[in-house]
Amino acid sequence: MTKYHQGIYKVVNRAKYMGNDNPIYKSSIEKRAFYYFDHNQNVMRWGYELMKVPYFFTVDQKWHNYYPDAYVELRSSNGELKNLLVEIKPQSQNVWDSIGNIVLPKPPKRKTAKSWNNYQKRLLEATKNVCKWEAAKKYCIERGWEFKIVTDQNLGMK
């Protein structure tokens, strides 16, 4: 089982942060993203798990709530203000390729009980992410925002 680096991120630029308490990072990727939001001069404001996005999970046929990792107000290179809803994930858990196509995990070549069980878990998690992220995209479109997935590759960690 993978143990993630977790803790409380100490916000430096308090005026930019849209929350009462310091955010809790659940991985080194989240910690690095929080540092970027906190210290980047083009990030005007940011917050941790501020938005609640309802989504329908096709596996259990029920509605659930999804809390994207961050909301970011970013000044682009042309001076325009962009509102972003951000999910922070390892690239291995990203189910979208660079042009937005869904890429699900491949079945194992050797179908041992362990490998098949692990594949089923990855497939279930990928399916849940597709449901959540499609709902988040729709939520953003309705508000004129953008939905972004930030990975360890985006942050220069791989």
Whole-Å CA distances, 94 to 16, 26, 30, 53, 101: 28, 17, 14, 19, 11
Q: Residue 105 belongs to what domain range?
A: 7-151
Count the domains in the chain: 1
H or E element that contains 150:
strand 146-151
Give the pLDDT of residue 113.
93
- Could you tell me if residue 2 is inside a domain? no
- Could you tell me if residue 158 is inside a domain? no
- Could you tell me if residue 129 is inside a domain? yes
- Could you tell me if residue 1 is inside a domain? no
Q: What CATH number did the domain enclosing 72 receive?
A: 3.40.1350
Residue 50 near residue 71 (C-beta atoms within 8 A): yes
- The pTM assigned to this predicted structure is 0.86
Give the pLDDT of residue 1.
47
DSSP 54: E
- Could you tell me if residue 157 is inside a domain? no
pLDDT per residue as tens, the chain (158 positions): 456 689 999 999 999 999 889 999 999 999 999 999 999 999 999 999 999 999 999 999 999 999 999 999 999 889 999 999 999 998 878 777 766 777 788 888 888 999 999 999 999 999 999 999 999 999 999 999 999 999 888 776 55
| b/e code 113-124 from CB counts within 10 Å (16+ = b) | eeeeeeeeebee
d(CA 154, CA 65): 26
State both tokens at 113.
């009980």
